[in-house]
A and B are shown apart, each in its own frame.
Chain A
Amino acid sequence: MSAQANLKAIPRLAPDEIESPPLSLGELTWRRFRRHKMAIFGVVVLILLIFYTFGGAFVVSEKYANQTETSLRLTGPSALHRFGTDTVGRDILARTIYGGQISLLIGLTAMTLETLVGILIGASAGYYGGWLDAILMRFTEAMLNIPQILLLLVMAKFFGGKIPNIPLLGRTFSGSVVAIILIIGFTSWPYLARIVRAEFLSIKENEFILAARATGTPPLQIIFRHILPNSIAPIVVSATLGVANAITLEAYISFLGLGVQPPTATWGNMLEGAYKYIESAPWLWVFPGTLIVLIVLAINFLGDGLRDALDPRSRTV
């Protein structure tokens, strides 16, 4: 058997070392995300737009944006007014800067609101089940059965003029901004609630939840410490796309005249009535419209990339 001893393999590499080193979840996610060039493009555009809207405030003052000069109304792009002027002579470039701030603000805040409400309702329904689930789901379904735009329009009328203007940080925000944030937030949550509920229902069945319950973990801790972190992926994706959705919805209702009221500008309300001047003054709608498309596009790319990165099972492309 001494021959056996001679046969001892000369170790070059232990079998485990031949395989590639394992990546952490964060590294894996980042790698997948990076592969998604469109998502990178989206992030870049998004950053540029944020610079434009919030950075632009250092270059142009809000007073200038709201400054009317009726003698100069409806002039096309020129050296003085790069994007032209609107129906009362205001500089469109400046208005797109400040309008962008509002549009983005509305998008982010409404999304936060709808995410919170959606998680609250979806988690309660999914975790507790029973009659709570039945009631909440009936209500959610009822809301989903009405087209969101119509609901928004009705609620916009309902809130119309009820909220006073808010002076904040030296600027005055039309109360309608808050109103819009509230109504978009309160009509968009059903989509997320349904997703959250579905996630909760499926994760709840896992054995580690059973283990947590068996060791006496209180329900709230189970929800926030165990279930929610595991369902974070669809929530993040939904929230990201929710911002784009909120910006678009604000644009729609402002376009129809029931959204944010002047003098506060948003990219949406800058388009109000623009179709009447379609022949004579296309710059009225081209600039704000393009900006809306750009930001929604960028967010959609980002959301798509996040979806691929966080949940490779749901590859859509």
Chain B
Amino acid sequence: MGTLLDVNNLKTRFHTPEGTVYAVNGISFKIDEGETLALVGESGCGKSVSMLSILGLIVIPPGEIASGTAIYRGADLLKMEEIDLERIRGKEIAMIFQDSMTSLNPVLSIGRQITETLHTHMGMNHEQAVKRTIELLEWVGISDAHSRLGDYPHQYSGGMRQRVMIAMALACTPSILIADEPTTALDVTIQAQIVELVIRMREQMGMAMVWITHDLGVVAGLAERVNVMYAGFIVEEADVDTLYDDPRHPYTNSLLAALPRADRRRDHRLKSIPGAPPNLLVEPKGCPFAPRCEYARERCWDENPVLSVVGTKHRIACWVDIKTGDLR
């Protein structure tokens, strides 16, 4: 399996009147063909910003991509001209977003919003585009598609809109689909339907996926590999099974421990993570999780740990071995 996307040391900042926000602080990861990677973390940890940076969707200014490379098929996306990026967006790398109501243009029909990508990227004429759009809509589970082309987003429910978004994103058969919390705003049952749909797509199309979420439950059924992020850093990388069975970073550990589980006692107290999320306005020094970490040592405050191997395809950014309590 070849590597499609190779991201190295990506740093993104925002210059605001209150100061500089250090949103992404040097993350690196690879996406191989057909692989599904989950990017997990709490709100504000930089998971969305990192993917938006790669696609050049960050507003500059006030944003700034301070450093990093994102090599896609041999070319660095971060250094590309806008006109070349336009050819990649939607065609090679597609993205879907969390809020389907605001992410779809309210005054254009859904048919139009799909056919336009086909016009732009696949050079189809109107007839061909309409035909393909109908196919796509049926495929994502919107029946009677041929009469739905003139519908508008506000006429649909959240789940149906998300299906439209997916159809729109997959119209030009991209190699990578980036999904930014697409199910977070949906009910659990609809959520399950969408996840099912996505799995079906993946089987049929074989595209790679980056699934951004803060919901560990969804990750389990969908991802192959997981990157856990905190304060703009990747703190743990593992295969999905390894992550759930053997989390090694204190943060991951706490996240999993905070999940309510059916196999625990009823009166088992849910463990929450003490403290507050980090202030991104200060330039990171030392491990960002140190203030909230029960294993924190002197070294954690002084030096930010880098990712190091702790098992098969399993890396963590931590000075402490949480199993023994000693420094690694």
Among B279, B293, B296, B326, the residue within 8 A (CB) of A19 is B279
Known: A10-B298, A18-B282. A3 touches B325 (CB 8 A): yes
- Nearest-CB residue, chain A, relative to B274: A15
A267 to B11, CA, bound (A): 59
A314 within 8 A of B: no
Known: A4-B325, A7-B297, A10-B301. A15 touches B18 (CB 8 A): no
A4 to B324, CA, bound (A): 10
- Majority DSSP secondary structure for residues of A touching B: loop
Known: A9-B296, A10-B298, A10-B301. A18 touches B290 (CB 8 A): no
B291 within 8 A of A: yes
Which B residues are in CB contact (< 8 Å) with A14? 291
Among A3, A7, A16, A18, the residue within 8 A (CB) of B296 is A7
B279-A9 in contact (CB<8A): no
Among A3, A7, A15, A20, the residue within 8 A (CB) of B292 is A15
**CB contacts between A and B, total, < 8 Å:** 37
Among B282, B291, B325, the residue within 8 A (CB) of A15 is B291
A112 to B17, CA, bound (A): 36
A15-B17 in contact (CB<8A): no
A9-B325 in contact (CB<8A): no
- Majority DSSP secondary structure for residues of B touching A: loop
Known: A7-B325, A9-B290. A35 touches B17 (CB 8 A): yes
A15-B301 in contact (CB<8A): no
Within the complex, the shortest CB–CB distance from B19 to chain A, in Å, comes to 8
Which A residues are in CB contact (< 8 Å) with B293? 9
A15-B296 in contact (CB<8A): no
B44 within 8 A of A: no
**Interface residue tally of chain A, by bracket?**
10 to 19
B158 within 8 A of A: no
Among A4, A7, A12, A20, the residue within 8 A (CB) of B279 is A20
A25 within 8 A of B: no
Within 8 A of B (CB), among A1-54: 3-4, 7, 9-10, 12-16, 18-20, 35
Within the complex, the shortest CB–CB distance from B279 to chain A, in Å, comes to 5
0 or 1 for each of B87-115: is its CB under 8 Å from A? (1 = yes)? 00000000000000000000000000000
Which B residues are in CB contact (< 8 Å) with A16? 276
A12 to B18, CA, bound (A): 24
A7-B294 in contact (CB<8A): yes
B291-A13 in contact (CB<8A): yes
0 or 1 for each of B266-286: is its CB under 8 Å from A? (1 = yes)? 000000001110110110000
- Nearest-CB residue, chain A, relative to B277: A15
Within the complex, the shortest CB–CB distance from A299 to chain B, in Å, comes to 26
Among A7, A13, A20, the residue within 8 A (CB) of B281 is A20
Within 8 A of A (CB), among B15-42: 17-18
Number of interface residues of B (CB under 8 A): 22
A314 to B294, CA, bound (A): 44
- Nearest-CB residue, chain B, relative to A7: B295
- Nearest-CB residue, chain B, relative to A32: B17
0 or 1 for each of B312-328: is its CB under 8 Å from A? (1 = yes)? 00000000100001100
B301-A12 in contact (CB<8A): yes
Within the complex, the shortest CB–CB distance from B298 to chain A, in Å, comes to 6
Known: A3-B325, A4-B325, A20-B281. A9 touches B276 (CB 8 A): no
Within the complex, the shortest CB–CB distance from A207 to chain B, in Å, comes to 24
A217 to B158, CA, bound (A): 41
A20-B18 in contact (CB<8A): yes
A15 to B325, CA, bound (A): 23
A35 to B278, CA, bound (A): 27
A15-B297 in contact (CB<8A): no
Within the complex, the shortest CB–CB distance from B274 to chain A, in Å, comes to 8
- Nearest-CB residue, chain A, relative to B275: A15
A15 to B17, CA, bound (A): 23
Which A residues are in CB contact (< 8 Å) with B298? 10
Within the complex, the shortest CB–CB distance from B251 to chain A, in Å, comes to 14
A9 to B291, CA, bound (A): 8
Which A residues are in CB contact (< 8 Å) with B281? 20
A9 to B294, CA, bound (A): 7
Within the complex, the shortest CB–CB distance from B83 to chain A, in Å, comes to 30
Within the complex, the shortest CB–CB distance from A48 to chain B, in Å, comes to 29
- Nearest-CB residue, chain A, relative to B295: A7
Which B residues are in CB contact (< 8 Å) with A20? 18, 279, 281
- Nearest-CB residue, chain B, relative to A15: B275
A7 to B300, CA, bound (A): 11
- Nearest-CB residue, chain B, relative to A19: B279
A16 to B278, CA, bound (A): 9
- Nearest-CB residue, chain A, relative to B290: A9
- Nearest-CB residue, chain A, relative to B300: A9
Known: A7-B325, A10-B301, A12-B301. A18 touches B291 (CB 8 A): yes
- Nearest-CB residue, chain A, relative to B294: A7
5 closest Cβ pairs, A-B complex = A15-B275, A9-B296, A15-B276, A3-B325, A19-B279
- Listed by A's residue number, 27 A-B pairs whose Cβ atoms lie within 8 Å are A3-B325, A3-B326, A4-B325, A7-B294, A7-B295, A7-B320, A7-B325, A9-B290, A9-B291, A9-B293, A9-B296, A10-B298, A12-B291, A12-B301, A15-B274, A15-B275, A15-B291, A15-B292, A16-B276, A18-B279, A18-B291, A19-B276, A19-B279, A20-B18, A20-B279, A20-B281, A35-B17
Residues of A within 8 A of B (CB): 3-4, 7, 9-10, 12-16, 18-20, 35
New A-B pairs, 20, CB < 8 Å, besides A9-B294, A15-B274: A3-B325, A3-B326, A4-B325, A7-B294, A7-B296, A7-B297, A9-B290, A9-B291, A9-B293, A10-B301, A12-B301, A13-B291, A14-B291, A15-B276, A15-B291, A18-B278, A18-B279, A18-B282, A19-B279, A35-B17
